[in-house]
Amino acid sequence: MRDLAANPQLCSVNTATLGFQAPIRDVIDAVARAGFGGIAPWRREVEGGHVKAIARHIRDAGLSVSGYCRSTYIPATTTAEFDANVSANKRAIADAATLGAACFVMVVGGLPKGSKDIEAARAQVAEASALLVEHGRSLGVRIGLEPLHPVYAADRSCLTLLSEALTICEAIEGKVDDPWLGTVIDVYHLWWDPNLRLDIEWAGKTKRIFGFHVCDWLVPTNDVLNDRGMMGDGVIDVPMIRGLVESGGYSGPVEVEIFSAENWWKKPMSETLQVCRERLASAT
């Protein structure tokens, strides 16, 4: 496995980890100062700002962009709403191109309001993915489908398995040497999956690992959305999963992504970043 302590350029921070407590320029500077090599910003920090200036600031700070978070949810009750969701994502993908993001992260959405038809929601996700990968390819942006833990199937992601994401990728792109549609593997969402080993092998063989997110699953978890743990504080064998991902040929950054309203978001950014660096070295 790669030595993350000796190679800080392989370590990236998803800005959600820092709780959005400062303007993006200050966050970029803090991440660079802490010695990371990459950053993954969110649309809420970028949209409405001067995207080119933010991109330049990130570059000047010596950081790469490991991913751009995240898609507008896809499933809709009307065609007009579906089209609007696809268009919003196309605009975000253009910003991902400006930022030089390694991929645009797709959190696909759950059931549209009032619906009980999860199969229809999944079909819409596949249809939108086909449209968005074409758009991404034209702008040089790879599209990464991120399966979420099934606890979010209703409201955040009807896509819950890595195998499901890979099946969508292959249905749309077929078997290609240089895919534009792939997956983002997040240990929080996939650690429990009995097929994880096989599916990561599949993703690796088909070069469809576009991102790798780490944190930990706390026991007990007080809030499945905003009580994620720092690597080493929970029950996920993060080094084991990183081993699988890297054996699969993934050579991109390891991105820390921790939603933690009651703990890490309350700490100063510099403190959280320092602990992230330590745990990337010792527990990832």
Of 133-141, 183-191, 217-225, 241-249, the window that binds Zn ion (rule: CB under 5 A) is: 183-191
Angle value at C-alpha 59, between 53 and 64, nearest 5 degrees? 125
Shorter beta-carbon distance to Zn ion: residue 69 or 76: 69
User: Which span sits near Zn ion by CB under 5 A: 49-57, 113-121, 199-207, 212-220?
Assistant: 212-220
3-state secondary structure 61-86: CCCEECCEECCCCCCCCCHHHHHHHH
Could you say which of 112, 210, 257, 264 contacts Zn ion (CB under 5 A)?
257
Q: Are 158 and 75 in contact (CB under 8 A)?
A: yes
Task: Based on the shown chain and the rule CB under 5 A, indicate whether residue 213 belongs to the binding site for Zn ion.
Answer: yes
Amino acid of residue 240: M
Instruction: Indicate left, alpha or beta for 250 from its phi (over 0: left) and psi (-120 to 50: alpha).
Output: beta
Closer to Zn ion at the Cβ: 76 or 165?
A: 165
CA angle (34 as vertex; 32, 39 as ends), nearest 5: 45
CB 85 within 8 A of CB 128: yes
Minimum Å gap between C-beta 257 and Zn ion is: 5
With H, G, I as helix, E, B as strand and everything else as coil, classify residue 278.
helix
Name which of 208 and 213 has its Cβ closer to Zn ion.
Answer: 213
In this chain, which of 186, 199, 233, 246 binds Zn ion, going by CB under 5 A? 186
Nearest residue (CB) to Zn ion, 105 versus 128: 105
How far is residue 32 from each of residues 8, 47, 105, 135, measured CA to CA in Å? Answer: 10, 22, 22, 31
Please say which residue, 95 or 186, places its beta carbon nearer to Zn ion.
186
Instruction: Give me the least distance between CB of 146 and Zn ion, in Å please.
Output: 5
Distance CA 231, CA 113 (A): 35
Minimum distance from CB of 52 to Zn ion (Å)? Answer: 26
At 179, list the tokens.
């895919």
Instruction: Please give the C-alpha separations between residue 127 and each of 39, 131, 134, in angstroms, as whole numbers.
Output: 30, 7, 12
Binding to Zn ion by residue 255, rule CB under 5 A? no
- Examine residue 228 and tell whether it contacts Zn ion (CB under 5 A): no
Stretch in the footprint of Zn ion (CB under 5 A) among 156-164, 193-201, 210-218, 222-230: 210-218
Which region, judged by CB under 5 A, interacts with Zn ion, from 39-47, 150-158, 255-263, 272-280? Answer: 255-263
- Interface region with Zn ion, contact rule CB under 5 A, candidates 108-116, 149-157, 179-187, 243-251: 179-187
| Residues contributing to the site for Zn ion (CB under 5 A) | 186, 213, 257
